[in-house]
Structure 1
């Protein structure tokens, strides 16, 4: 009867959060667990966690931990590990007292802790590698690094501009040399003036297109350095419907 009342109390908790402190809710779930009414404790913990927006970080961590305790007691170690991962993502320094907690629970918790550390190290290594790779990509061609970092539109635009300027510069260089030969071979005053004007116009146009290519390249460097190195958000653990979980990282460039 007492267990049923405790469960009912926690089920109604989201409706009376102003009258009931979080420590009372935690005490109620803990009491159900200690009584061995694991199904009731599991339901109560899930109900409390459903009010995620109103729970403090500390309370959510404790509810995730208690839910994992009940799942281990029910033999659902895989799902319990997922909730331990969530608790660790909320409080990375979370630890269990081996004197007060059963070895079976400690074992599942340690598995989750090792997985959490391994996933975190793997993602940090990937982010570090991405930062180093960018240092040479931005020097090779404008837009390449932006495209690789997920800024496709900007990357394509920069690459297209650079290609257009470089292509125009090469074409103007060839035309300029042809115009120069005509200018040097001209003998009539009118031809000399006309061919020189053409040559001079092509020379100036080539200068501007080459300058445009340099400006695009410099802008690409500045843009890349303003957005690098990438930043890594705090990891989040997402529980999946099949009872497993994954650690999710968000990297911003």
Structure 2
């Protein structure tokens, strides 16, 4: 009697990684509270702490943090630092404005000049700029994971890992073709074994059937292993040369994941 085993893999029911937002929201609320209470020292410390962990925040949150720091630094007579943070905020949200009800006319005027210069820099691609700009880049991992669920190795090809993708496709193909072939051979061996009437040949027929039975099951397990590896590799592994992360906001190249209910993206910060 033939028994087919079904392997259940719960992890495949989770196509995306879940990131908690409670601590990030709490830190952002503390920054807002300190800023609104004019406790600029505490707001600056907490905002700097948040930027040291910028990977955990959305572009909207980062925009607000940079905006608050820009206002704080200008209020402390540090216009150059204020300019950098306003530029960072505008890089994330070019339409950003300041509320004149809560910001002094002097800061508003300074911000408008920074915004105008930011717009000019955006039009003049030949001019060398020193500020840090953010660019939102789509994270290929969710799409790659879906492709690898359909065909092992496809997700790796989608991410640009050509050699790995081809190897995984070849291994999975060999496993599937081999298991199908072994299954038909097993069926033939089973029929021969069940129809054999010569006592001296029954054991030989059974051994042949048993060999193909084990071969088929092992090839199925091998194929499932390749499929599972391809899926997990596609959704979890980052390409080192493209998704390399850093710990400081002022370095030349920073990349951070940003996963929201609507989309999955990376924040790429380029210092140029």
TM-score w.r.t. length of structure 2: 0.43
Identify, as 1 or 2, the structure richer in helix.
1
- Larger Rg, first or second structure (1 or 2): 1
TM-score w.r.t. length of structure 1: 0.46
